[in-house]
Amino acid sequence: MAEPSPDPGGGQRSPGLREALLVGELVVVVVLLAAVVTFLLPGDGRDVVLRTPLLILVLILGTAGVLWRISRPGRPDQ
C-alpha cells in the first residue's frame, strides 16, 4: 500500500479569495477615510496634501511596506 505523500505546504493554507477581498475592502476603507480627512482639513492643510508630492510619498512608502511584508518568510509561531 502506498504511503500518502507529505503535504508540500507543511500544513499551512495559502491566502485565497477571501483574504484578497478582505485586503481590497480594507484598502477602499482607508482611501475613503483619507479623502474625508483631507476634505475636513483647513485650506492651507488641504493645499499641502494636494499640491505637494506628499501623496506620492505615502503611496511609495505604503507599497514598500506591503511588498516587504509579503516578501518576509513566514515565522514558525504564526
pLDDT tens track for 40-77: 999 998 988 888 898 889 889 988 988 888 888 776 66
**What per-residue confidence (pLDDT) applies to 23?**
84
**What per-residue confidence (pLDDT) applies to 67?**
85
pLDDT tens track for 5-19: 555 555 666 777 888
Q: Which three cell numbers stand for residue 69?
A: 511584508
Q: Where are the domains of the chain?
A: 43-72
